[in-house]
Amino acid sequence: MTYYEEDDLQRFAEIGKHRPDLFEKFMTWYQACQEEGALSRREKALIGLAVAHALQCPYCIDAFSQSCLEAGSNMEQMTEAIHMASAIRGGAALIHGLQSHNSVNRVSM
Amino acid sequence: MSTVLPVIQPGPQVNGGIDFDEKLAAYGLELRASSVDTLQINVGKLCNQACKHCHVDAGPSRTEIMTSETVEQVLAAIRRFKIPIVDITGGAPELNPSFRYLVPECRSLGCHVIVRHNLTVMFQPGQDDLPQFFREYKIEVVSSLPYFLQQQTDAQRGRGVFEKSIEALHRLNAVGYGVENSELILNLVYNPVGAFLPPTQQSIEADFKRELMHRYGICFNRLFTITNMPIRRFLDYLRRSGNEERYMRKLIEAFNPATVDGLMCRNLVSVDWTGRLYDCDFNQMLDLGVARELPQTIADFNPEKFAGRRVMTGSHCFGCTAGAGSSCGGAVTIE
């Protein structure tokens, strides 16, 4: 058995089975976020792709890769978005090195 | 309707056997033509290219080509019924020996003439004067360029096509096509390079205008987004790549009832290289002729009989109703 099944993406609505009210609220909010606003759909799709990589969610990576293509992005742009997410994630890890330094300095002569 | 919503939205369960007419009926719709204002003439399957998405399955080895006798029958129908718009396609229509007879004749009959020109045919023997020929007869030129980058274009249309296409666009611009304040119209066509839907027409048109001007100094009038139809060579690709079910589900889930009014089959009749009639070029490639009760050939054509006709449909029709819709003139609904 694998933990992630591609077909589960289509079954997402089943999450609403036990608390449909909460799922409905989520979907309303989720869909409203996708609409064109101060940011274009293409920009939002690229943000979604970047966040999906930061979260390493295979469903979201699949969904937002398709969304980016269908919003007119090319692989160069999508790869830059992925690098942005990765760089920020890497930087966020690296800055915590100072926590380590602080911890070591606290007990060092 | 958005085509970019990630697919986590809960939708109806899709099965492969969903019927297009039933889908229309569920929205209280029926697909019937209005009046015929366009005759789309497919003059044959011969082409200098063999694009991976081609619904015609056109290529250099195809021999199906409209004869001069059939061309005369087509012209007789245009003359008799004063059809205002003629849309000439193929294959590469310029490779039909009657092409340079058909075009001036249509113009002399007062038709607006559109030629679906693949750009690279300009570099075939005896075709280098095509920009001047198009200009002389004030042809509306519609040319496929799936992307403003080489990798995507060559992946769909063949190695070296992008470079030649750019050179051809320069030559068209040089004689006045697509240039600001010129009456010579040059429209481009975007097809997705793969199993996904096109972006919104306005957004990708803006990208093409910016990038083609910035990178190559090329200008054009409009960009038409056209969805890849799940038939013939593109269907082969979908099957080979394991994308057929997913692509069909995508088309069906993106069904947009607002597109139905503007579908090209409502105003167009398509004639094939033998003179047989169809509701559109896609039906032509599926050998799905017009309704049995109608005249079947251009020799018997009468637009009055075709007005209000029942349009023949199949699952491929979901390609024209997905998202913003798709037609020979691009998106059907503009957001």
| pLDDT tens digits, one per residue of B278-294 | 999 999 999 999 999 99
Q: What are the backbone dihedrals phi and psi of residue B278, each rounded to the nearest 5 degrees, phi first?
A: -145, 165
Q: What 3-state class would DSSP assign to B25?
A: helix
Predicted confidence at residue A99, as pLDDT, reads 96
Q: What are the backbone dihedrals phi and psi of residue B263, each rounded to the nearest 5 degrees, phi first?
A: -65, 145
| B4 contacts on A by Cβ (under 8 Å) | 34, 41-42, 45, 67, 70-71
Q: Return the sign of the alpha-carbon dihedral for residues B1, B3, B5, B9.
A: positive
The class level of CATH for B20-321 reads alpha beta
Establish if A4 belongs to a structural domain. Answer: no
Are B7 and A66 inside 8 Å of each other by CB?
yes
User: Measured at the alpha carbon of residue B57, what is the angle toward residues B56 and B59, in degrees to the nearest 5?
Assistant: 115
Q: Domain range spanning residue A58?
A: 9-106
Establish if A21 belongs to a structural domain. Answer: yes
Predicted confidence at residue A43, as pLDDT, reads 96
> CATH no. for residue A101?
1.20.1290.10
- What tokens were used for B98? 């009657």
- What tokens were used for B182? 């010129």
Q: How far apart are the first and last CA of chain B?
A: 8
Q: Is the ipTM of this complex over 0.90?
A: no
**Segments making up each domain of chain B, as ranges:** 20-321
What are the distances in angstroms from CA B233 to CA A4, B54, B191, B229, B278? 33, 6, 14, 9, 20
For chain B, the 3-state helix, strand and coil shares in percent, each to the nearest 5, are 40, 15, 45
- Choose among A42, A64, A69: nearest Cβ to B196: A69
Interface probe with A: pick from B2, B8, B15, B208, most Cβ of A within 10 Å: B8
Tokens 């070296």 correspond to what residue?
B160
Establish if A1 belongs to a structural domain. Answer: no
Q: A3 falls in which pLDDT band (50, 70, 90)?
A: confident
Report yes or no on whether pTM surpasses 0.80: yes
| A65 contacts on B by Cβ (under 8 Å) | none
Tens-place pLDDT, residues A22-64: 999 999 999 999 889 999 999 999 999 999 999 999 999 999 9
Establish if A3 belongs to a structural domain. Answer: no
**Domain tally for chain A?**
1
- Choose among A12, A41, A72: nearest Cβ to B2: A41
Predicted confidence at residue B50, as pLDDT, reads 95
Tens-level pLDDT at each residue, chain B (335 residues): 333 344 444 334 444 468 999 999 999 999 999 999 999 999 999 999 999 999 999 999 999 999 999 999 999 999 999 999 999 999 999 999 999 999 999 999 999 999 999 999 999 999 999 999 999 999 999 999 999 999 999 999 999 999 999 999 999 999 999 999 999 999 999 999 999 999 999 999 999 999 999 999 999 999 999 999 999 999 999 999 999 999 999 999 999 999 999 999 999 999 999 999 999 999 999 999 999 999 999 999 999 999 999 999 999 999 999 999 999 999 998 76
Q: How far apart are the first and last CA of chain A?
A: 53
